[in-house]
A = this chain, B = another copy of it.
Amino acid sequence: MANYTVLVTGGAGYVGSHVVVELLNQGYTPVIIDNFSNSIKGSGSKPEVLLRIERITGKQVTFYEGDIRDKPTLQNVFKKHSFTHVIHTAGMKAVGESIIMPIEYYNCNVGGTICLLEVMKEFSCYNIIFSSSATVYGPPDFLPIDETHHVGRGITNPYGKTKYFIEEILRDLTTADKNWNVVLLRYFNPVGSHKSGLIGENPQGIPQNLMPFVSQVAVGRRESVKVFGTDYDTPDGTGVRDYIHVLDLASGHVAAVNKASEGCGLKLYNLGSGKGYSVLDMIKAMEKASGKQIAYNLAGRREGDIASMYANATLAETELHWKAERGLDEMCEDLWRWQSSNPNGY
């Protein structure tokens, strides 16, 4: 088996930590760099998420605390390891926050990526897997949306634009220099957590995404969920999205690492389940998984939201030999295991 050494930027984060576990399970060697801007370190001398990853896998993980915009730090990490790949999950990710503080988002996400690419080039590491988002599509012209859909139009927030801009930068890179292999993974909505309940999504402050909010209501940390928009053209009037189990997402990254190793040039894939569930579907599923009643209030539409969005994920199935295996109930059960055993996160 290939012995890949993979730098995971943002490896202490929600998606990153699950990717690291999956890499370890597959016998690869992940190395984490994280600045803990989205996650909480915990109180011990070693970040709690790392201790948990080591408990799950029985393996040690090399970890650097640092910001990818800090070039000397990044160069130092590249000096110590011969990375075959980078999985680039680091970035700020709250849509609403990005509207309020755009410079910070552009600096962190776009600036961070540019710095990372410069250092990768300096150390001749040309394989990168990027955490993109279905947001790059803007409002969909057709559903299920596939990778032929145009991108970059009608994106209503800086977060989404940073994802689009980074995709374009990576695209231009593969045009300029055939050494580069780039896999853009367009995430739909990751939910759930590792089966152990030891790692999971650990939002700071008020969760910006639906399911962390719902699970915090289930566990009693918050009173009720606000459902934004009840008059959309969907079966129950609430917004429909494509939710994907974070374990499926993680295995998609490992498949992308293997794809890049083939010398793939530029590739881009939807990582979604292909199924759409409404906000009310999700609340009900979480009630079932948790055995708790989840209070919710109906509210008006939120600006910039769309009615429905879900993936055609067949390209990833054909080319990455990957598909989402875990259904809605499993997502909610696993999320609940994490939430109920860690009601306040790490």
Contact = CB atoms under 8 A, between A and B. Distances in A.
A175 interface: yes
A169 B106 contact: yes
Interface stretch (A2-10, A19-27, A94-102): A94-102
A310 B345 CA distance: 58
A176 B114 contact: no
A121 interface: yes
A280 B204 CA distance: 62
A172 B153 contact: no
Interface residues of A, number: 25
B102 A106 contact: no
A158 B165 CA distance: 11
7 contacts: A99-B175, A102-B173, A103-B114, A103-B169, A107-B114, A158-B169, A165-B168
Contact of A103 (B106, B168, B173): B173
A152 to B, nearest CB: 6
A143 B102 CA distance: 33
A110 interface: yes
B152 A172 contact: no
A111 interface: yes
A114 B111 CA distance: 8
A117 interface: yes
A167 to B, nearest CB: 11
A168 B153 CA distance: 12
A85 interface: no
Interface in A73-112: 99-103, 106-107, 110-111
Contacts of A173: 102-103
A70 interface: no
A172 to B, nearest CB: 4
A165 B165 CA distance: 7
A152 B138 CA distance: 14
A117 B118 CA distance: 22
A118 B114 contact: no
A66 to B, nearest CB: 18
